[in-house]
Amino acid sequence: MPKKCACLSCVSLVYTYSSEQRLGPERIKMLYAFRTMLDDGARITLGSDFPVEDMNPLSGFYAGITRLSPKGKSPKGNEPW
């Protein structure tokens, strides 16, 4: 039986490709565990973190789906993580 939580999480997907260099390989493993959050009953909203990042929502969708920067780069080299 999945856990249930009554929480709303606002996430900025543009960080999915850049956080490992700041947090390290161990801490990054559960940073963007969206499936786990959804399975546990959380609701997820998306934000752009503008003006720090691009406010175009397509940039966030691209990062969240591919785990790559807009230039096609990843902390793991040319492969998404």
Q: Average of pLDDT values for 46-65? A: 82
The 10s digit of each residue's pLDDT in 21-41 is: 777 777 777 777 778 888 888
- Rg (C-alpha) for the chain, rounded Å, is 13
Continuous segment of H or E residues that includes residue 59:
helix 57-66
Instruction: With a cut of 50, say whether residue 13 has pLDDT above it.
Output: yes
Local structure of 10: helix, strand or coil: strand
pLDDT on residue 76: 63
Inform me whether the pLDDT recorded for 2 exceeds 60. no
